[in-house]
Amino acid sequence: MENCNNGPAAADNFKVRTHPLTRCIDQGVGGLLCRWQVVVPEHPLISHWVSVLRDRFTPSHAFRSAMGELGRLLIYEATRDWLPTVTREIQTPVGTAVVESVSEMEPIMIVPILRAGLALADLATSILPSTKTFHLGMSRDETTLLPSVYLNKLPDRFPKGCNILLVDPMLATGGTVTAAVDLVKERGAEISQIRIISAVAAPPAIKKLNQRFPGICVYTGTMDQIVNEKGFIVPGLGDAGDRSYGT
Residue range 14-81+106-245, CATH number: 3.40.50.2020
The pLDDT profile of the chain, 247 residues, written as one tens digit per residue, is 445 544 433 334 443 433 334 445 554 333 333 456 899 999 999 999 999 999 999 999 999 999 999 999 999 999 999 988 899 999 999 999 999 988 877 689 999 999 889 999 999 999 888 889 999 998 877 777 678 899 999 999 998 889 999 999 999 999 999 999 999 999 999 999 999 999 999 999 999 999 999 989 999 999 999 999 988 999 999 999 899 988 8
- Domain extents for the chain? 14-81+106-245
SS (H, E, C) 1-68: CCCCCCCCCCCCCEEEEECCCEEEEEEEECCEEEEEEEEEECCHHHHHHHHHHHCCCCCHHHHHHHHH
Do 164 and 181 touch, CB atoms closer than 8 A? no
* DSSP annotation of 7: P
